[in-house]
Amino acid sequence: MPDKSVKVICPSCGAENLTGTLFCVQCGIYLPFGGPLRTEPLPEQGQGQRPTATDRRTDTQEGKALSLEMEILDTGRKVWLSAEREILVGRLDAAHGIFPELDLGVDGGLEHGVSRRQARIYTKDGVCLLEDLDSTNGTFLNGERLTPYLPYTLHNEDVLTFGTMRLKIYIYTSK
Amino acid sequence: MGAFDPEKDYYAALGVPVEASEEEIKVAYRDLARRYHPDSGGDAERFRQIQEAYEILRDPTLHRAYDRQRESRGLSQESPLVIGLTLNRTNMQPLEVPQMLYVLVDIRPRVDLPSQRLPLNLALVIDRSTSMQGVRMENVKLAALDLVESLLPGDRLSLVAFSDRAEVIASGLSVSDKRALRSAISALMPGGGTEICRGLTAGLDELRRYVSDQYLNHLILLTDGRTYGDEEQSLSEVRRAGAQKIGISALGIGEDWNDLFLDALARQGGGICQYIRSPSQVRQLLRDQIRGLSAVVARQVRLVINPAPNVKIQAAFRAAPYMEYLTLENGTTLKLGNMGVDEPIALILDLVVQQPEPGERRLARLELEAATANDTAVTLQLRRDLAMTFSYSAQDEPVPGRLLNMLSRLSIFRLQERAWELAESGDVQQATNMLQAAATRLFDLGYKELAQVALTEVGRLSAGGAPTSEGRKRVRYGTRSLTSPV
């Protein structure tokens, strides 16, 4: 059992925090990790979490996932995106400073219940990940609803649903 | 899969209240499934019922449909509002030392409640000081004209223009006086200083002429500048208005207005303060504010928290749709204003637990009170207990994802708010450290542009200069909306 002393000393800035504090009050680092919380941790197995697929086609494992092709199934529109940067999926709203790399407003995003900040796609350690940003109508991966803010691994030809708008993702690695 | 029986009580099957959050349902299922699994000698039929209940309750779409069917059969409970509770842990050790505990409180309508478009008793208080000349005033006029067009029969609109003095240019006019309203707006001419309290008082006086429970009574202040010496008086005017159920919101245009002051006004008034960076945004943001007032599901929402003697509420925050510090009135009550349709309220409570006894303990009793949208005489009341199991064998648990992410963003919000406070009070070193920390955390989470703005201000501070008004506003208003579901 870890030693629970009176206060938790932050390993980064030395500030005193009460036992059980998650983010240092002085510098904001995630105390249980002792370092930056870039991607929030996945829950332990058996909590009803979507299984990380071993039964799927694995196309992306070795090389870095570099480009994505998103096919909007209702309109047939195809969009090429580089997975080198984070991709915000949503609807353009210049007034609020929201500029999604994948703007679904043009495809009828509003009518399909797509939030302005719906979800994000990013790459980490060569794996392509999808994260719902607590959108109003939810983000679904192959029909299963994502828990907000948790990363889910994307595989080639997965079907992503934002609100009621369905897209298919094609992941291309460098040769 | 997906077929449910509304006659069955799935809540009872999992032993959870109707208002249970996703997390609570998950935890309850996990415990029961373990206990009743046939492989560990449990009853197969009971296990199947648990499975069926969980399958429906864990899926938001099925859950909603199930609730709706139960309601239409008269099987559901009364309360149209529900409280969901998510804690960062379900078991804690009964330590001698004080321990932090984080609670996410979700307040939302249980099923799709119809929202009410209540008649509005509205006062628009417009700054017409010299600096409003040009593009700013043009856009404000257009925004005000939009507002006039959106009025419905039964609404009342008062217009106050202020600079050194305040002028009432329209008093409680209705839809049938659109022409008078339009000409009053068109006649606005910028010139003079900025005496916000005068404008505020005049606007409140107008509202009070027509104030009644059948209206949604609200004042919107539009300003681009600073007032001097009358901040305290303004705040007490707003406080007084609050006692009469008049709400206040603010829109600050450009860089020169005092964001700490306008935030305080709006917070005191139960409304929102928004930053308008460019005059072209005035129309949209005023429209948004009116829309927020026009689709109300519950009014005067308050959460009363009664903690156990060994539990202290160290801090309380609104977490969504935007973050803000909340103050506990009388040490127990959080005033949350109106709840708009599509705008459920999320709060985060920082609790400190001292020397608990082992066992299942109640940490606090929560009581939610609200007035129904259409009849403020009808009060909704809902009670939930916050409980914790204290055991020497308690292990560390993974923090529920949504809570963790909100706390992560809340931490950044708090760091930068504290930094600005310190900068104002002259502690430049500490202010720099905290703002730097906030910037680093923003980079960590991928908010590069916002992080850059914060870093630029850090640079100014550490070079012995002052932060820019624009920088501070961009960081403050940018960070508070990191949790916006949008």
Question: Which among B391, B403, B420 is positioned nearest to B478, based on CA atoms?
Answer: B420
In B, minimum Cα distance to A148 occurs at B402
Which one has a higher pLDDT value, B391 or A38?
B391
From the list B98, B414, B445, which residue is nearest A19 (CB)?
B98
pLDDT at A57: 34
Report pLDDT digits (tens) over B425-460.
999 999 999 999 999 999 887 788 899 999 999 999
Half-sphere exposure of B140 (CA within 13 A, CB side): 32
Torsion of CA B263, B267, B268, B271, to 10 degrees: 110
Q: Which amino acid is at A53?
A: A
**A100 interfacial to chain B (CB closer than 8 Å):** no
Of A12 and B1, the structure prediction assigns the larger pLDDT to A12
Region at A143 (left for phi over 0; alpha for psi -120 to 50; beta for the rest): left
Q: Are B49 and B13 in contact (CB under 8 A)?
A: yes
Q: Cα(B277)–Cα(B29) distance, rounded to whole angstroms?
A: 48
Q: So what's the pLDDT on residue B43? A: 80
Q: What's the gap in Å between the CA of A161 and the closest CA on chain B?
A: 14
Domains along the sequence of chain A with CATH: 1-37 (no CATH), 66-173 (2.60.200.20)
From B154's Cα to the closest Cα of chain A, the distance in A is 31
- Containing B425, the helix (H) or strand (E) segment is helix B401-425
Q: CA B207 to CA B217: how far, in whole Å? A: 7
Higher pLDDT, B341 or A68: A68
Alpha carbon distance B176, B350 (integer Å): 50
Cβ–Cβ below 8 Å for B99 and A48: no
Instruction: Indicate the pairing of strand A78-82 with strand A158-162.
Output: unpaired
The answer to whether residue B485 scores a pLDDT higher than 80 is: no
Interhelix angle B231-243/B196-210, nearest 10 degrees: 10
Nearest one of B298, B292, B254, B253 to B271, comparing CA atoms: B292
- Compute the distance between CA of residue B141 and CA of residue B135 in angstroms, rounded to an integer: 10
Residues 6+ apart with CB under 8 A from B67: B18, B76, B110, B111
- Per-residue pLDDT of A95-148, as tens digits, reads 666 788 898 988 889 889 999 889 999 888 788 999 998 888 899 999 999 988
pLDDT of residue B382: 80
Q: Are A70 and A87 in contact (CB under 8 A)?
A: no
DSSP, res A76: -
The radius of gyration of chain A's CA atoms, rounded to the nearest angstrom, is: 19
- CA-to-CA distance for A128 and B9, rounded, in angstroms? 41
Alpha-carbon distances, residue A52 vs A37, A152, B26, B134, B345 (angstroms): 21, 8, 19, 58, 33
Q: Which two tokens stand for residue B215?
A: 């209206």
> Chain B within 8 Å of A50 (Cβ-Cβ)?
no
- Mean pLDDT, to the nearest integer, of A54-76? 63
Task: Specify the DSSP element, H or E, that contains A146.
Answer: none
Cβ within 8 Å, pair B284-A95: yes
Largest Cα–Cα distance in chain A? 60
When pLDDT is averaged across residues B458-485 and rounded to a whole number, the result is 91
Subunit contact B441:A134, Cβ cutoff 8 A: no
How would you class A86 by CB atoms within 10 Å of its CB: exposed for 0-12, middle for 13-18, buried for 19 or more? Answer: middle
DSSP H or E segment with residue A172: strand A165-173
Closest residue of B to A99, CA-based? B449
Strand residues in B341-397 grouped as ranges (E)? 345-353, 359-372, 379-390
With bands split at pLDDT 50, 70 and 90, how would you rate the model's confidence at A74? confident
Radius of gyration for the alpha carbons in chain B, expressed in angstroms and rounded: 25
**Eight-state DSSP code of residue A19:** B
User: Span B1-12, mean pLDDT?
Assistant: 78
A32 contacts in chain B (CB < 8 Å)? 396
pLDDT of residue A96: 65
Cβ-based neighbour number of residue A142 at 10 Å: 14
pLDDT at residue A48, rounded to an integer: 33
Q: Which of B118-122, B340-344, B424-428 has the lowest mean pLDDT?
A: B340-344
> Which residue has better confidence, B484 or B133?
B133
Strand partners, B248: B219
- Measure the CA–CA gap between B401 and B57, rounded to whole angstroms: 19
Sheet architecture: strand order including A65-72: A78-82, A65-72, A165-173, A158-162, A139-141, A144-145
Going across the sheet that includes B156-162, the strands are: B166-173, B156-162, B120-127, B216-223, B247-253, B273-276
Maximum distance among all Cα pairs of chain B, rounded to whole angstroms: 83
Q: What is the per-residue pLDDT for A64?
A: 56
Residue B353 above 70 pLDDT?
yes
Distance between start and end Cα atoms, chain B: 31
- Separation in Å, CA of A43 to nearest CA in chain B: 6
| Four-CA torsion B478, B483, B484, B485, nearest 10 degrees | 150
Choice between B105 and B10, residue whose per-residue pLDDT is larger: B105
Tokens of B285: 């943001």
Q: Is the ipTM of this complex over 0.85?
A: no
Residues of chain A contacting B91 with CB distance shorter than 8 Å? none
In the chain, the amino acid numbered B467 is P
Collect all residues of chain A within an 8 Å Cβ-Cβ radius of residue B458. Answer: none
The mean of the pLDDT values for chain B is: 90
**Per-residue pLDDT, A34:** 58
Q: Is any Cβ of chain B less than 8 angstroms from the Cβ of A116?
A: yes
pLDDT tens readout for residues B61-120: 899 889 888 877 766 655 678 888 999 999 999 999 999 999 999 998 876 666 778 899
Amino acid at A51: P
Instruction: Give contacts of B484 with chain A, Cβ < 8 Å.
Output: 117
Determine the residue of chain B that is closest to A19 in CA distance: B99
Residues 6+ apart with CB under 8 A from A129: A39, A121, A122, A123, A151, A152, A153, A154
Least confident of A52-66, B1-15, B55-69, B356-370: A52-66
State yes or no: pLDDT of B223 exceeds 70: yes
How far is the C-alpha of B387 from the C-alpha of B319, rounded, in Å? 21
pLDDT digits (tens, 9 = 90+) for B183-194: 999 999 999 999
Helix (H, G, I), strand (E, B) or coil at A53: coil
Q: Which pLDDT score, from 0 to 100, does residue A45 have?
A: 28
Kindly state the percentage of chain B with pLDDT values over 70: 96
Nearest-by-Cβ selection for B401 from A1, A43, A95: A43
Residue B373 DSSP label: S
